[in-house]
Structure 1
């Protein structure tokens, strides 16, 4: 099975160029890495990374997406080849997006997947909690998410659904601090989600990993022949990969779990972050590479999919879900089934 292999280049002043059918990474004329192009589906660069024109042309020809992020992981640009995919599928996608019933049903499924997975994060934390007050707070949070899940079928339109999802997300993030080890809380206290810019180290990690997941989900949409710009839950805006963001929702709890592991295992430290004028807190230097490596390693882990009788690598799940979305759009299934874990 093909894994969504992505090369993340975080080394400053790295030079990427084409060497026959291989991508070569050099630092000061010293070769650091060679990767055969047929092993790649995407390349993501951070900050001041140089690329040769022949390499960019070849990446476009091979349908290997190149994503440029700034030093702090914010999206800057994306290079991709000629538009591919089944035009009939894209026509069906536009038709389904214009169908209020289908759009609402699909958006509900995306939100349900997210809330179920968030709830599992809290329940797992409650089972492992050593402090009684933490356990009770996490159990209350899980109960609140269960109530939000019960309310989803009664939402009558997308605005109401987004309101329910937003309130559930607020309740979930209010519990996240209880999942951080007590000895780490003075350094990684989390009081709620902040973004654009993140205001504390936990939010900086969340934003960074959400960016990586969005890249994978967008690539998965394109691989399935879907238009990543046209979604159901997220409002369509120029330059916004709305469908990719719809898929991202069910995978956000995976990023949350990785953030918690990195903090609780002391794989990141307060020194890995820098506070900028205006209050922005961002992941710095080698820490970006370490977190990227941890993310790639997590993608190798096997998960049990509710539809299949076999385990699937986490890195493959966005592609599987994009194909399930395509089947729902073609009306080959009763609707979209999000991935949920136990």
Structure 2
């Protein structure tokens, strides 16, 4: 990081939490929450550049807002919210959204920031006797005396911050800290989860992971539709007639099927808000995706490339073992016949997958488990829907093109799962094309497919079983063309609703004990995999239900 200037607000973050500083400054990772949005609201007035700020030799400074000054000597750059002049001296005033401590003294993180602002002003020739912090909740200022001891401490903290910035890995999370509950980066940092996996805490992890986002995917399935944007909303029209409209604030992904057009303005609006756009065939095959700027978490992609080149470093074995165990659990819970032998075989194959030493052997184990599982799959289908599973019983799993209704449902749900995990890998900062188990080839999102393995039975297969057994899809919902079977437009929408319901289902996380939706657990698992890739935690633990 040498050659850069360290923002004074980043020194504030370092004092608050060294890991938070590292994630934001070194890895350039950031996420908003209610507190950060409120902070922006508090700063809206002082962020506007107003007032003259002459240097001391050029005149008196009366009041100036949003003034940026730097110090090469300190290696710091500071944006001062407000500078007030008082009879030859100036007072830096920094605005904070919260309250001071109970004894009416400033928080150390706020104190160091305003001290650095004072030091930068002093280096530019201003006379500064004290500084002030304005806390918005009580609407009052707290004075900070600029003693030699306090200023020396501020300089030492800057040196410590630079030392941490030069480290190859982020500091470990705080243990049982109340700070984590209000941190905007808690969903990226996963402090309690990381500490639990590293055995740094004895208590079960707190439910710190943020609640499910309000945003949901927008699916556009109408052939010939056009997606534009107007007044902060995505607008879907066909032949200039409005079909639907969605607020961009409520949109997690824009997913278009088949012959649907998306305007350049809509793409730009999505990219500006970090909304990925994914194009699928009318049958659900992922054709491509687009996003705005790539994640700045370059170190993660560098490590991902290294692990990919090394052949997965044991990660593939754990992923496939998790998948096999989840297949076994789904079958055990839903089979309507005697599948005892199959369950025993799947348990044995999961153990083999964990301990196999060669990639070819792992492929063999996974292939054997898949054949046993799909051979027993029709036993989970009720007698009322048996006709839709009859051809599958004879042909087994076949996907290109799906030759029967059950294969068509499985293929569509697997495509939706892959689509979601592409979006998640992009959000985490992973490269969706550089896989661990799945080999990379043109147009294949190998990393998303890797993460999908443990969720195929948990999400996709479960959706298919539920759709058939609940009578939500019937023979009339499928189109047969030669040797291929596809979903009708109405059936596809029915499947999408069922798939989204499944993602909103809450479960108890087997490793961490708290309740969490499948939508959120997929994000957590992707972040845990990233933590393994950068060496923060020793091994990947797949999501395995009991």
Give 1:28 shift.
Answer: 4.4
Secondary structure of the 1:227 match is coil
Query: Partners of 1:223 and 1:92 in 2: how far apart?
Result: 17
Query: Partners of 1:242 and 1:21 in 2: how far apart?
Result: 34
Instruction: Name the stretch that deviates more: 209-218 or 179-188.
Output: 179-188
Give 1:30 shift.
Answer: 4.1
Query: Partners of 2:286 and 2:307 in 1: how far apart?
Result: 29
In structure 1, which of residues 120, 125, 129 is the aligned counterpart of residue 334 of structure 2? 125
Give 1:44 shift.
Answer: 0.9
Query: Partners of 2:284 and 2:522 in 1: how far apart?
Result: 21
In structure 1, which of residues 61, 68, 71 is the aligned counterpart of residue 282 of structure 2? 71
Q: 1:153 to 1:67 in 2, by over 3 A?
A: closer
Aligned to 2:348: 147
Matches within 5 A, 1:97-136: 97-100=308-311, 103-126=312-335, 129=336, 134=337, 136=338
Query: Partners of 2:508 and 2:218 in 1: how far apart?
Result: 26
Aligned to 1:276: 481
Q: Which runs of 5+ in 2 are unaligned?
A: 1-210
Aligned to 1:250: 454
Secondary structure of the 1:186 match is helix
Secondary structure of the 1:142 match is helix
Q: Which runs of 5+ in 1 are unaligned?
A: none
The normalised TM-score by structure 1 is 0.92
Supply the RMSD in Å over aligned alpha carbons.
1.6
Matches within 5 A, 1:16-95: 16-95=227-306
Give 1:202 shift.
Answer: 0.3
Q: Are positions 1:290 and 2:494 aligned together?
A: yes
Give 1:159 shift.
Answer: 1.5
In structure 2, which of residues 440, 447, 470 is the aligned counterpart of residue 265 of structure 1? 470
In structure 1, which of residues 322, 331, 341 is the aligned counterpart of residue 535 of structure 2? 331
Secondary structure of the 1:198 match is coil
Aligned to 1:194: 398
Kindly indicate whether the alpha-carbon contact (under 8 Å) linking 1:104 and 1:233 is maintained by their aligned counterparts in 2: no
Secondary structure of the 2:486 match is strand
Q: Deviations over 1:10-52 (max 9, x none)?
A: 1233222101211122344443432221222211111222322
Q: 1:153 to 1:52 in 2, by over 3 A?
A: closer
Query: Partners of 1:24 and 1:195 in 2: how far apart?
Result: 34
Q: Deviations over 1:48-99 (max 9, x none)?
A: 2232221012222322111111222222232222222411111111122223
Query: Partners of 1:257 and 1:63 in 2: how far apart?
Result: 30
Give 1:139 shift.
Answer: 2.0
Query: Partners of 2:449 and 2:282 in 1: how far apart?
Result: 22
Larger relative contact order (Cα-Cα within 8 Å, sequence gap ≥ 6): 1
Secondary structure of the 2:513 match is coil
Secondary structure of the 1:274 match is strand
Query: Partners of 2:533 and 2:498 in 1: how far apart?
Result: 34
Is the radius of gyration larger for structure 1 or structure 2?
Answer: 2
Give 1:104 shift.
Answer: 4.3
Aligned structure 1 segments of 4 or more residues deviating by more than 3 angstroms: 27-32
Query: Partners of 1:76 and 1:92 in 2: how far apart?
Result: 27
Q: Are positions 1:206 and 2:407 aligned together?
A: no
Give 1:150 shift.
Answer: 2.0
Secondary structure of the 1:210 match is helix
Q: 1:314 to 1:153 in 2, by over 3 A?
A: closer
Kindly indicate whether the alpha-carbon contact (under 8 Å) linking 1:109 and 1:338 is maintained by their aligned counterparts in 2: yes
Q: How many equivalent pairs are there?
A: 331
The normalised TM-score by structure 2 is 0.59
Kindly indicate whether the alpha-carbon contact (under 8 Å) linking 1:16 and 1:23 is maintained by their aligned counterparts in 2: yes
Secondary structure of the 2:476 match is helix
Q: Deviations over 1:120-156 (max 9, x none)?
A: 0111024xx3xxxx1x1x2222111011012123312
Kindly indicate whether the alpha-carbon contact (under 8 Å) linking 1:85 and 1:222 is maintained by their aligned counterparts in 2: no
Query: Partners of 1:78 and 1:153 in 2: how far apart?
Result: 33
Secondary structure of the 1:341 match is coil
